[in-house]
């Protein structure tokens, strides 16, 4: 499969989508060469299809020529899934950006993949409904990218992740056929659960062109709590105790470094003794919220040696706290120019072990490693900071990543909670999946995409299917 495209292929692509929806200029290709990893792989062309039918014809052409096709939402992915690592075509889904239907009575919606998640959330909220999956990138990532990565966010601790809301999909298969999966109803077990197979498949099995999601009634109110702790061990140790008796809709953690890099965005100055933070939110109707808040306050008051417990006094303060939480990822670059951002998951009871391990690992390998994230579901973002222009740091960071993954698996965890495998973790997948599971994964990929034209080089280690 050639990385470049012949002029005949470009002409054929142009005939399918129209000249205004094909770009091959170097500047534009560079814009589509990146994602959240900051790795760089320019494609040979970027195509902006306007319908599933056009995508079907592009896939037929891709198999005939052949060339690689890489689906792309907003390019915020953290594992290189939207990068054209084998050249070919990036299929930008930005024209397929309509909310097709919001059925308030049945609490479902049908959207195209290029809809921006935050805009969709705002639209359903206007109708008194609630779409819970809330990646920190919601303001700019797409629903299609969320389904392809099975995105999660702070609210996953109570409401689950994208997978829990996808009822059905329309997908263009790698050979160009149109597959419709799933149901519009609350229940459905007709045949294999093909929908689930595609959720989290990182654009390697098909191109999602429509998504049916379920919605919930919007909670009446929320209350945000800030818990400042004297140590990381204290904060991480509290997580299981809180969840034993309380039902927060978010339970986020920041370690000392994360706190320091966003301290200036917090609404109030941070006491010097605060070395870690938990950010919790309760939701529900007004009466239950009062009851829940009282119970949580009583519990936290009984915890010895907390530095401070604070309830946000108004939505503006709560928003400021959440803005600081969302700012951690970009603020990390004030530490070093690059980062490896891992989103490992461990059983909640093992978070203290994981965090202590990352501290020790950073010291041992001479790296800045810090942690924050969705403590409520054990999904801790481990950030290994580095300067990629320094070969020593790169090799130390690679060692750190491998040792981190080994530790996570030993603790009973998994390599990724929400960012997927992409290219950055493909080589490590066999650490987690058994040889049988790897073989079945390769067989599934081969079944759907025998010519390997759809998003090659992702999930499976290089050299396999």
Ligand X SMILES: Cc1cc2nc3c(=O)[nH]c(=O)nc-3n(C[C@H](O)[C@H](O)[C@H](O)COP(=O)(O)OP(=O)(O)OC[C@H]3O[C@@H](n4cnc5c(N)ncnc54)[C@H](O)[C@@H]3O)c2cc1C
User: Is position 377 an interface residue for ligand X (rule: CB under 6 A)?
Assistant: no
Instruction: Give CA–CA dist 246/282, Å, rounded.
Output: 9
User: Is position 135 an interface residue for ligand X (rule: CB under 6 A)?
Assistant: yes
Q: How far apart are the first and last CA of the chain?
A: 14
User: Is position 90 an interface residue for ligand X (rule: CB under 6 A)?
Assistant: no
User: Is position 252 an interface residue for ligand X (rule: CB under 6 A)?
Assistant: no
CA-nearest of 213, 194, 55 to 121 is 213
C-beta closer to ligand X: residue 53 or 295: 53
C-beta closer to ligand X: residue 401 or 419: 419
Minimum CB–partner distance for residue 455 and ligand X (Å): 5
User: Is position 168 an interface residue for ligand X (rule: CB under 6 A)?
Assistant: no
Which contacts (CB < 8 Å, 24+ apart) does range 398-404 have? Answer: 399/365, 400/340, 400/361, 400/362, 400/365, 400/367, 400/369, 401/340, 401/342, 401/428, 402/428, 403/361, 404/342, 404/344, 404/357, 404/358, 404/361
Site for ligand X in 319-348 (CB under 6 A): 329
C-beta closer to ligand X: residue 352 or 417: 417
Minimum CB–partner distance for residue 141 and ligand X (Å): 4
3-state helix, strand, coil in the chain (%, to 5): 40, 20, 40
Minimum CB–partner distance for residue 126 and ligand X (Å): 22
Site for ligand X in 21-50 (CB under 6 A): 35-36
Q: How many CB atoms lie within 10 A of CB 214?
A: 18
Name the CA radius of gyration of the chain, rounded. Answer: 23
Instruction: Give CA–CA dist 87/363, Å, rounded.
Output: 39
User: Is position 61 an interface residue for ligand X (rule: CB under 6 A)?
Assistant: no
Contact yes or no for 172/454 (Cβ under 8 A): no
Per CB under 6 A, the list member of 43, 56, 77, 168 interacting with ligand X is: 77
User: Is position 73 an interface residue for ligand X (rule: CB under 6 A)?
Assistant: yes
Instruction: Give CA–CA dist 171/181, Å, rounded.
Output: 8
Minimum CB–partner distance for residue 148 and ligand X (Å): 3
Per CB under 6 A, the list member of 129, 207, 242, 306 interacting with ligand X is: 207
Site for ligand X in 208-247 (CB under 6 A): 208
Under the rule (CB under 6 A), what is the footprint of ligand X? 35-36, 70-78, 81-82, 93, 113, 135-137, 141-142, 144-146, 148-149, 151-153, 202-203, 207-208, 329, 418-419, 455, 458
């Amino acid at each position: 499969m050639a990385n470049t495209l012949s002029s005949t292929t470009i002409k054929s692509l142009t005939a399918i989508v129209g000249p205004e929806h094909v770009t091959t200029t170097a500047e534009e290709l560079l814009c589509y060469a990146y994602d959240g990893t900051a790795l760089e792989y320019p494609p040979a062309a970027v195509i902006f299809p306007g319908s599933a039918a056009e995508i079907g014809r592009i896939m037929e052409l891709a198999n005939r020529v052949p060339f690689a096709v890489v689906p792309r939402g907003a390019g915020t992915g953290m594992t290189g899934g939207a990068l054209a690592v084998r050249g070919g075509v990036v299929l930008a889904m930005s024209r397929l950006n309509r909310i097709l239907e919001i059925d308030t009575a049945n609490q479902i919606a049908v959207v195209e993949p290029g809809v921006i998640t935050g805009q969709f959330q705002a639209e359903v909220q206007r109708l008194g409904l609630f779409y819970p999956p809330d990646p920190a990138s919601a303001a700019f990532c797409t629903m299609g990218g969320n389904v392809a990565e099975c995105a999660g966010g702070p609210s996953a601790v109570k409401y689950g992740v994208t997978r829990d809301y996808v009822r059905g999909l329309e997908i263009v298969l790698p050979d160009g056929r149109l597959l419709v999966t799933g149901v519009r109803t609350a229940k459905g077990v007709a045949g294999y659960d093909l929908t689930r197979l595609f959720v989290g498949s990182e654009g390697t099995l098909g191109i999602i062109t429509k998504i049916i999601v379920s919605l919930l009634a919007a909670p009446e109110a929320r209350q945000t709590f800030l818990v400042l702790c004297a140590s990381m061990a204290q904060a991480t140790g509290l997580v299981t105790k809180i969840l034993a008796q309380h039902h927060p809709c978010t339970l986020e953690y920041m370690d000392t470094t994360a706190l320091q890099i966003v301290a200036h965005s917090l609404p109030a100055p941070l006491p010097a003794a605060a070395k870690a933070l938990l950010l919790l939110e309760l939701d529900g109707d007004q009466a239950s919220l009062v009851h829940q808040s009282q119970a949580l306050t009583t519990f936290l008051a009984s915890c010895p040696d907390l530095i401070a417990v604070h309830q946000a006094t108004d939505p503006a303060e709560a928003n400021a706290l959440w803005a600081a939480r969302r700012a951690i990822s970009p603020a990390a670059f004030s530490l070093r120019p690059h980062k490896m951002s891992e989103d490992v998951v461990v059983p909640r009871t093992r978070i203290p072990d994981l965090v202590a391990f990352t501290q020790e690992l950073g010291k041992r390998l001479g790296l800045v490693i810090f942690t924050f994230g969705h403590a409520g579901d054990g999904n801790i973002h481990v950030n290994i900071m580095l300067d990629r222009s320094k070969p020593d740091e790169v090799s130390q960071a690679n060692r750190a990543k491998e040792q981190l993954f080994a530790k996570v698996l030993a603790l009973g965890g998994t390599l990724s909670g929400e960012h997927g495998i992409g290219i950055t973790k493909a080589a490590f997948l066999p650490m987690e999946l058994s040889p049988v599971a790897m073989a079945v994964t390769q067989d599934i990929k081969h079944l759907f995409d025998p010519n390997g034209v759809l998003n090659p080089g992702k999930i499976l280690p290089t050299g396999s299917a």
